[in-house]
Structure 1
């Protein structure tokens, strides 16, 4: 069996997501499995080139994982003929410039979202990539979560009948950083650095809604900063200028209404950090990161409103768990494998830079809706 090596510049591996999900649990996991099998019987072997700003951090990561190829010189890495793919997991504010450099170098693009801080820049990136004739993709990890894959299976199987609504709850309490360290980087809470939960999470919700339920046609949102003072990684106080909560109402084709709350200032009283409830004429389901429970029409209870007496019904116990029925690998790895097959053998792929631009569009319109206090329709993007 032949083996083909594909060089991948991984920029941003010193960050939490770049290191844990993309390097360790995706690229290195593929290598540990012996490479990625292709349709022609050959194997694709990813060869990472680690890129970041700190040579010391890069060296430590490389030594811990048996790697030797790392550099702080992105232009030099992109100039290498043995590199075919550029991946970006940097802070949002640094992404646009690096992606343009990679496109100019003729490399295929795979990137975290949001792809840019503005819609204009996101659209320009997509057009530049198309003109360069390269393949491009954007991380859409939520679609590969076991819970949402089970939910998508129910949609495809017609379980819901006519879908009426989607309700999503996402978030958790991110400590301010004074008496307990924050579990997210401080740049997330500074608007000048590309922070804000609307720009971070609305692109996620857009591709979840678009890919599982249908096109998003309008948005009404309220974005706010609940906690306006936080402490950074050095224990220094700073003004939190970016929104830490966003409450969105999305209108989809077919009259489907989606309500999704996102917050870094909420304490969790649900089974998982994100949950979606879908209600339809023939049944309902609740999906999280891993689990999915359903309640069909024939098994729907008939509660009666009576505020004078405590209810005796145990509503959570009236739902049935959806079985796995397959083995779910790490969602980031699953999409990496899909993108690598797209590059190596032109396998089907939908999450391109245009999908990323649509995500930025709904975030930008969500912020505008919040500022202006009104509903905004979402126009089609012109390629």
Structure 2
């Protein structure tokens, strides 16, 4: 079969997400399976070129996986004509400048989110990508998770009737770093480094809500810093001035109301780290990362409120599991495969910089709502 190799400059693979999900479980996994097959039989084979600020760390990863090309000079990598795609998984504060350099070098760009720290920065990236004619893509991994793919199947099949509301719960307890090591990097909790759960997670909630249910038309949010001091990777205490929890109400097109809580200061009492409950006139569903359970109108129990007696209904047992009906691959890998097809063939890829800009806009409006204590309408972005 004919092979089409694509050089991909991967910046930020020394971080947990960039290494585990994007390099190992996506790009290297695609190489191991022989590439991504196109309808004409051609196989797209990605060739990773690792880039990072710490030469020792980058070299260690390259040697561990037999990757011959790596370095710390992003400019030199972008000048290489065999590099067609630039991928960014750096800290948020470093992303915008690097992406603009990649666009100026004529590279296609695929990146983690948020694409920028401000709406103006995100819009500038979208315009630069459009004017340069490059193929831009943004990681929107939640849509490719088995649980949300099952939920999408239910929506497309008309299971819910008229959808009324969505309730989302996301988060877990991130240790402060004193008596137990924190399981997230310290920059997440410093505003100057682009930290904050609103900037991080509202970008996710925007594309999930927009794609599955409808455009976000207004937001009311409260962002807080519950834990003001944490301990970093070197054992030093620091001021955690970025928000570590956010409580949001999102008004969607068609009258749907979504409530989503995001917190790194919550202990989990649910089946998965993120769950969405969708309620409609004909049925309801609860979807997580992998599972999705439903309750149809015909099988909905009829509880009666009585605080004097224990409730006899086994509510959780009255829901039905949605079957897989297919084999679900890693969500990050699946989107990478779609993006590579997009680069080579121009096949539709809606997860672009314009969609990412709307996510940054929602975060910015969420902060404004929290600061001013009011509901914020979400205007259309003009590119």
TM-score, normalised by the number of residues in structure 1: 1.00
Give, in angstroms, the shift of residue 361 of structure 1.
Answer: 0.2
1:160 aligns with 2:160: yes
- 1:213 alignment counterpart: 213
> Which stretch has the larger CA shift, 58-67 or 8-17?
58-67
**Cα distance in structure 2, aligned partners of 1:280 and 1:51:** 47
CA positional deviation for 1:183: 0.2
Q: C-alpha distance in 2, partners of 1:116/1:320?
A: 41
Distance 2:23 2:356 in 1: 21
Q: 1:24 aligns to what SS in structure 2? A: helix
Aligned length: 383
Cross-structure match for 1:271: 271
Per-residue CA distance 1:322-348 (angstroms, 9 max, x = gap): 000111100000000000000011111
In the TM superposition, residue 61 of structure 1 has moved relative to its aligned partner by 0.6
Residue 136 of structure 1 is matched in structure 2 by: 136
Question: Could you say which residue in structure 2 is the equivalent of 1:309?
Answer: 309
Residue aligning to 2:350: 350
CA distance in 2: counterparts of 1:103 and 1:66, whole angstroms: 28
User: C-alpha distance in 2, partners of 1:87/1:208?
Assistant: 22
Aligned to 1:87: 87
Q: Which runs of 4+ in 1 moved over 3 A?
A: none
Post-superposition Cα deviations, 1:211-247, rounded to whole Å, max 9, x if no partner, equal 0111110000000000000000000000000000000
Q: 1:77-99, CA deviations, whole angstroms, 9 ceiling, x for partnerless residues?
A: 00000000000000000001000
Give the 3-state SS of the residue equivalent to 2:359 in structure 1.
Answer: helix
Shift of 1:59: 1.2
Partners of 1:339 and 1:26 lie apart in 2 by: 12
Aligned to 1:251: 251
1:1-383 alignment runs, 5 A limit: 1-383=1-383
DSSP 3-state at the match of 1:115: coil
User: What is the distance in 2 between the residues matched to 1:346 and 1:131?
Assistant: 16
Give the Å deviation of 1:202: 0.2
Residue-by-residue CA offset, 1:109-163 (whole Å, 9 max, x unaligned): 1000000000000000100110001010110000000000000100010000000
RMSD of the alignment, in Å? 0.5
SS of structure 2 residue aligned to 1:103: helix
Structure 2: distance between partners of 1:55 and 1:116 = 25
Contiguous gaps of at least 5 residues in structure 1: none
CA distance, structure 2, for counterparts of residue 17 and residue 215 of structure 1: 28
| TM-aligned CA deviation for residue 312 of structure 1 | 1.2
Structure 2 gap ranges (5+): none
Tell me the CA shift for residue 55 of structure 1: 1.0
Cα distance in 1 between the residues matched to 2:150 and 2:299: 20
Distance 2:131 2:42 in 1: 30
- Give the distance between the partners of 1:63 and 1:80, measured in 2 at CA: 21
SS at match of 2:295: strand
For normalisation by structure 2, the TM-score amounts to 1.00
Equivalents in 1 of 2:307, 2:68: separation in Å? 66
